[in-house]
Structure 1
């Protein structure tokens, strides 16, 4: 895929995912399986910012109409406010409708922007708790050698280690070189690790999750 095509498709894909998340939010639709959320601390902030933007936009539009009437630029300002509200609630909807899940034999890792990573429980070698390096954003990223990946924003607090030659699916397409380590954000990392351990123990003749350190609650 050319760079120009990527630049065109990226915003289209982002808007499509945002609309899908908001639709799922309104319909109260959630992916199947045991869900584990992330960024719970941001939910109230986004709610507050969204409501303040609604009020600010309404008051600003009213004042501008009273002073300047109805020139096109006044409606452009209103449109920008509406789009700002849409972005804030789209992000919140993504966080609430795209949790990580363990659905039978498959693990699904997601983020608010729509990235979806999945692999078999049987491909999990170990799960390690503990704070990881700070990452600037939550999209899927891999190290230069492709062996370490992250789907975390801020300090990742869970690391999933995979067996060699694991089958990892990224947004519907297999990854040619699957990462060995995946850093993840989760609101309840201990519960997520325990669920992976339980799921793995039910798999016949496969690896096992490593011990969960007691220092991280």
Structure 2
């Protein structure tokens, strides 16, 4: 990936965070009509709120302790930006849940991951709790000739989605290579799996001639 692509991705992620904060304030989650939301942020929410509260306490404390006006102003700006950014990060996870609709699954992680998988590409779904090494949200695992992509929250996933055939997905970490399985986090993995299985069954029962 070139430096220009990295910059574009960073800018897009930053703008997405601020747009998410605006949506959260207005209580307008990004859930299209007819789609069923499946949140995934509960495991990380207490941690983020802890950092948010600590940052909110730190800002006036630092301002009170430092005697240099110019440094106080600079740290006030940095602290306020950091505080709003953390709130925006939490907002992004809250207003962009996974969704399931008549077309298939839409897997998301904040404003940075947005992957759509059509019903005809989904073979199976199951509850399976896994730990994911490292701190990255998107992790690619090589298992023999099979590649799986984990979109983790707090270092774990709870749902496996098996694909009928490997697909190239719009994920930078996947490197443009096809993957055969998606692993994602969900607050209620059993409910998400039930809904996915219902969608798979409905798609299988639909004659090809009646396809949308």
For Structure 1 versus Structure 2, the TM-score category normalised by the shorter chain is 0.7 to 0.9
Structure-2 residue corresponding to 1:199: 199
Deviations 1:66-101 (A, max 9, x none): x33x2x222111112112202211111011011111
How does the TM-score come out when normalised to structure 2?
0.82
Aligned-residue offset at 1:139: 3.2
Q: Please list, as runs of the form range in 1=range in 2, the aligned pairs for 1:76-115 lying within 5 A after superposition.
A: 76-115=74-113
Is residue 182 of structure 2 the alignment partner of residue 182 of structure 1? yes
Give the SS at the match of 1:90.
Answer: helix
**Count of equivalent residues:** 197
**Using the alignment, how far apart are the partners of 2:141 and 2:166 within structure 1?**
17
> 107, 120, 123: which one pairs with 1:122?
120
Post-superposition shift, 1:9? Answer: 1.8
Q: Contact 1:113 / 1:139 at 8 angstroms: preserved in 2?
A: no
Q: Conserved in 1, the CA contact under 8 Å of 2:18 and 2:88?
A: yes
Deviations for 1:29-80, whole angstroms, at most 9, x for unmatched residues? 121211111130322332232123112202321332xx33x2x222111112
In structure 2, the CA distance between the partners of 1:111 and 1:146, relative to structure 1 (3 Å rule), is farther
1:115, 1:47 → 2: CA distance? 22
Moved more, 188-197 or 50-59: 50-59
SS in structure 1 opposite 2:110?
Answer: coil
Equivalent of 2:44 in 42, 45, 68: 42
Alpha-carbon distance between aligned partners in 1 of 2:103 and 2:158, rounded to the nearest angstrom:
23
Distance across 2 between alignment mates of 1:113 and 1:140: 13
Structure 2 gap ranges (5+)? 207-212
CA RMSD of aligned residues (A): 2.3
Output aligned runs, 1:2-81, within 5 Å. Answer: 3-30=2-29, 31-32=31-32, 33-64=35-66, 67-68=67-68, 70=69, 72-81=70-79
Q: Indicate if the aligned counterparts of 2:104 and 2:199 stay in contact, CA closer than 8 A.
A: no
Match of 1:163 in 2: 164
Q: Please report the TM-score for the alignment, with normalisation by the length of structure 1.
A: 0.80
Find the aligned partners of 2:91 and 2:179 in 1 and give their Cα distance: 28
Unaligned runs of 5+ in 1: 207-217
Q: Are the equivalent residues in 2 in contact too, given 1:57–1:78 (CA < 8 A)? A: yes
